[in-house]
Structure 1
Amino acid sequence: MKANFHIEVSDKFITLDHFINYYLSRESWLTRMSIEVCGFKDIAKDLKFTKAMFSGAPSEMERVYRHLPKEVIEKYNVSTSDKTLIEINSKQASKGNALKELAQKLNLRQDEIMIFGDQKNDISMFDVPDFYKVAMGNAVLEIKKRANYVTRTNNEDGIAYAIRRLIFNE
């Protein structure tokens, strides 16, 4: 199985790969964003993109992650939203930073915020000290270790279950 490398812009994925694997196709379908295959020379030098991504089979993504240069890990926010994707974002682009900024704009204290997560791209939220952290039952271990509470899985309506238990004491 081959990994695809692609970038996400506002309305589509752009890749140099002519073979589009199942995982990139699935991501395209889930996000309702098209895939554009183009040559390197066709990419605008001033192109602004949201994030860069690798997609492929879980074993392939483990191999890609192990071989990412140290500089990439240090310079960018590298995370996974599932075992078939590696996302590379700006160091400042994280769920944790976004929620802290939103809380500030809404005049909310961090201890008034409850978050839910299950994958490694949620770690930045789970590292904010005052958020109340709820891990989904199907969460990766790194999330469960940081959680105040572990709820049921996504398929078992874990968010609704946690809200009923933690907020409404049902």
Structure 2
Amino acid sequence: MTHATGTTMTRRALLGAFAATMVAAAPQFPGATAYARGAGDIRKLHFYSGRTGEKINIIYCIDGKYIPEAIAEINHFFRDWRNNKVHKIDERTVDILAAAHNLLDVDEPYMLLSGYRSPETNAMLRARSRGVARNSLHLKGQAADVRLQSRSVSEIARAAAACKAGGVGRYSGSNFVHMDCGVVRSWGR
């Protein structure tokens, strides 16, 4: 693709220009993927990792079509930071995270505490804590643990639960919320 000056415009540059002129649509009815259809279904993820220092602020889906390059970047960002193993992150989980963030109406990125967990990492964490599930959805790339400085665990959990699209765990003592694309359920305080 070229623009008026005749130079090549990359897909990333095009998406960046497009993103600068559009705002992600808010859900109009329950469900994480219930973005305003036909009115610019643009899904964006905004995160940073306190573990790696990395940041990601990316449009990953436009009008219901996931962008493969963006999903690959998300998969890498959500990797097991302890051993750098990368796993495919379920797009449903990404949609829940994005929808809850949108409902919270914040510019602040989520802090990712845990995305994908390799079997080795999950076993190590289970040995240290009884709160880690043997068959955690983190092992399948279907869960994430997040926090926001500007919102409480209760506020984040309420936004995630409003999506009616997966599991929501409140971990007030550790200041994070677990979100996953499993069965709709909630736990913790």
Is TM-score (shorter-chain normalized) higher than 0.5?
A: no
State TM-score, norm by structure 1.
0.32
**Greater RCO between the two (CA within 8 Å, min separation 6)?**
2
State TM-score, norm by structure 2.
0.30
The structure that has the greater radius of gyration is 1
Larger helix proportion of the pair: 1
